C-alpha cells in the first residue's frame, strides 16, 4: 500500500496543466464538478463494497481514481489505486474501514482545496439571482 504521508493531498500542477491546455474556465469548472461529485462517487464505491459487487466497486474506484488524478488529488488517487489492487488480488476490504479512510481523505482534500482557493462558489438559486 502507498504511504499516505508521502503523497500530497492536492497538487496544483495537474489543475494548472488542465488550465494551460483547456483554459482557466474549463479547469475551474472541472474542479468545481469534481469536488461536488466526491460524495456521489464515494457512495458508489461503498455500495459496491457493502454489496460485495466487485464490478460495481471497481468501476466506481476507476472513476474516482481517474478524476482524482486529473484534479491533482494525489492522495485520494493513491487510496483508490490501493483499493483496486486489493480487489484485484481477491482481498475484500472492510466497507466500514474503507468508508472511514475514504471520507478522511475527502475531508483532507476539501480542506486543502479550500486553502488553495478551489472550493466552488455559491450557486444562483433562481432566475432572480442571474
Determine the Cα–Cα distance for residues 87 and 78; give it in Å rounded to an integer. 14
**pLDDT of residue 1 exceeding 80:** no
CATH of the domain spanning 9-119, picked from 1.10.760, 1.20.120, 1.10.3470, 2.60.120: 1.20.120
Q: Residue 85 has what pLDDT? A: 95
pLDDT, the chain, mean = 89
Label residue 47 exposed, middle or buried (CB < 10 Å: 0-12, 13-18, 19+): middle
pLDDT of residue 59: 96
pTM score of the predicted model: 0.85
Encode pLDDT of 81-126 as tens digits: 999 999 999 999 999 999 999 999 999 999 999 999 887 665 555 5
Provide the percentage of residues in the chain whose pLDDT is more than 70. Answer: 88
Asked if the model's pLDDT at residue 27 lies above 70, the reply is yes
Quick one: average pLDDT of 53-73? Answer: 96
Mean pLDDT of 25-47: 94
Q: Supply the pLDDT for residue 4.
A: 60
State whether residue 118 is helix, strand or coil: coil
> Which letter, b or e, does each residue of 2-25 get, where b requires 16 or more Cβ atoms within 10 Å of its Cβ?
eebeeeebbbbebbeebbeeeeee
Choose among 109, 48, 31, 39: nearest CA to 84.
Answer: 48
Residue with the bigger pLDDT between 1 and 85: it is 85
Amino acid at each position: 500500500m502507498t504511504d499516505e504521508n508521502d503523497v500530497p493531498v492536492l497538487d496544483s500542477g495537474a489543475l494548472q496543466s488542465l488550465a494551460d491546455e483547456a483554459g482557466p474556465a474549463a479547469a475551474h469548472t472541472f474542479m468545481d464538478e469534481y469536488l461536488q461529485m466526491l460524495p456521489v462517487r464515494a457512495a458508489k464505491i461503498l455500495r459496491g463494497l457493502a454489496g460485495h459487487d466487485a464490478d460495481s466497486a471497481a468501476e466506481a474506484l476507476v472513476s474516482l481514481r481517474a478524476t482524482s488524478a486529473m484534479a491533482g488529488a494525489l492522495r485520494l488517487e493513491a487510496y483508490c489505486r490501493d483499493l483496486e489492487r486489493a480487489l484485484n488480488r481477491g482481498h475484500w476490504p472492510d466497507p466500514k474501514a474503507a468508508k472511514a479512510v475514504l471520507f478522511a481523505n475527502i475531508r483532507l482534500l476539501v480542506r486543502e482545496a479550500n486553502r488553495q482557493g478551489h472550493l466552488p462558489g455559491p450557486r444562483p438559486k433562481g432566475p432572480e439571482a442571474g
